[in-house]
Amino acid sequence: MKTSTEPDKTQCNAYIHAMEDALYVIGGKWKLRIIIALREGNKRFNEIQRAVSGISAKVLSAELKSLESNGLVTRNVLVDEFPVIVEYVLDDYSASLNGVLESLIDWGVGHRKKLADENQPK
Amino acid sequence: MKTSTEPDKTQCNAYIHAMEDALYVIGGKWKLRIIIALREGNKRFNEIQRAVSGISAKVLSAELKSLESNGLVTRNVLVDEFPVIVEYVLDDYSASLNGVLESLIDWGVGHRKKLADENQPK
DNA sequence: CGGCATCCTTCGCGATACTG
DNA sequence: CAGTATCGCGAAGGATGCCG
């Protein structure tokens, strides 16, 4: 607690800072899309690449490592011989993102609806 | 509605697509920070720049225009003579983002807490 | 005061090819 | 199948200066 005369400024910075923390982990073009793809079930590397259209193997590889290091995704090696088989699984911790995902998806749907209504006012 | 055998895949794509719509409008490094800054009250250009630390005038200008064109922010010219004075105001529509903002901020706070706990397990 | 112009850097991302 | 290596583009962003 503080007795300063500018509590708002402090609050605002705290909010912005929390947002930065969040975006550092789940920001960027791909991370949330990958998580959404994995929500419909565990997937192999190439399956994710197909589900998240447009992502390259290099980027997908990097994103998965990042998600793994943040405890959101787990990498399971199913077969460790030549045609290696790997499966990616959402970690329990990823459930903590449900609120974020749902509100973002909802807002996206609503915003698209709003744009459509503005173009077809009737 | 469809009778396909792969409703999940369709659902997943719809979710990802809605997310893309949302991120197109509020994604990127700065937009949500600017909105948070404006939530504590209307601000002038330079005030926003001070509140959102690190943003340059050029980028702030571009971001404000983008937010304006999406109906999230309104630009009010208070004085139109030489030392021009402009005020930026959150539009009513921006309230629709409250859920997104709160869940992101919450998650950021929680995630930081989680990291702290992992480093100080005792 | 608000904000555009210019120049420059950074790096996220993409395409293609290749390997265990 | 699951990635890595290489190359390189292009957009986003930073620094500085100027102008109404």
**CA–CA gap between residue A55 and residue A73 (Å, rounded):** 18
Q: Is the CB of A12 under 7 A from strand D?
A: no
**Digit-coded pLDDT (tens) for B57-74:** 999 999 999 999 999 999
Listed in order, strand segments (DSSP E) in B1-122 are 43-44, 73-79, 85-90
Sign of CA dihedral B66, B69, B72, B77: positive
On chain B, the residues whose CB falls within 8 A of the CB of A103 are 99-100, 102-103
pLDDT at position A91 over 90:
yes
- Predicted local confidence at residue A12, as pLDDT: 72
- Predicted local confidence at residue B120, as pLDDT: 81
Q: CA of A107 to nearest chain B CA: how many angstroms apart?
A: 6
C-beta separation of B103 from A103 below 8 A: yes
- Predicted local confidence at residue A8, as pLDDT: 59
On chain A, the residues whose CB falls within 8 A of the CB of B19 are 32-33, 36, 101, 104-105, 108
Closest CA in chain B for residue A21: B108
A50 vs B: CB within 8 A:
no
B7 vs A: CB within 8 A:
no
**CA–CA gap between residue A17 and residue B53 (Å, rounded):** 11
Q: Is the CB of A44 under 7 A from strand D?
A: yes
pLDDT at position A54 over 50:
yes
Q: Say yes or no for a CB contact (<8 Å) between A108 and B20.
A: yes
pLDDT at position A51 over 60:
yes
Distance A99 CA to D20 C1' (A): 47
Q: Which of A21, A40, A100 is facing B12, going by the closest CB pair?
A: A40
Closest CA in chain B for residue A41: B8
C-beta separation of A99 from B106 below 8 A: yes
Sign of CA dihedral B9, B10, B15, B18: positive
Which residues of chain B fall below pLDDT 50? 1-5
Q: Could you say which nucleotides of strand C lie within 7 A of any protein CB atom?
A: 1-6, 12-17, 20
- The band of A4, judged by pLDDT with boundaries at 50, 70 and 90, is very low
DSSP element (H, E) containing A82: none
Q: Say yes or no for a CB contact (<8 Å) between B110 and A96.
A: yes
- The band of A3, judged by pLDDT with boundaries at 50, 70 and 90, is very low
- Predicted local confidence at residue B9, as pLDDT: 65
Residue A103 or B120, more confident? A103
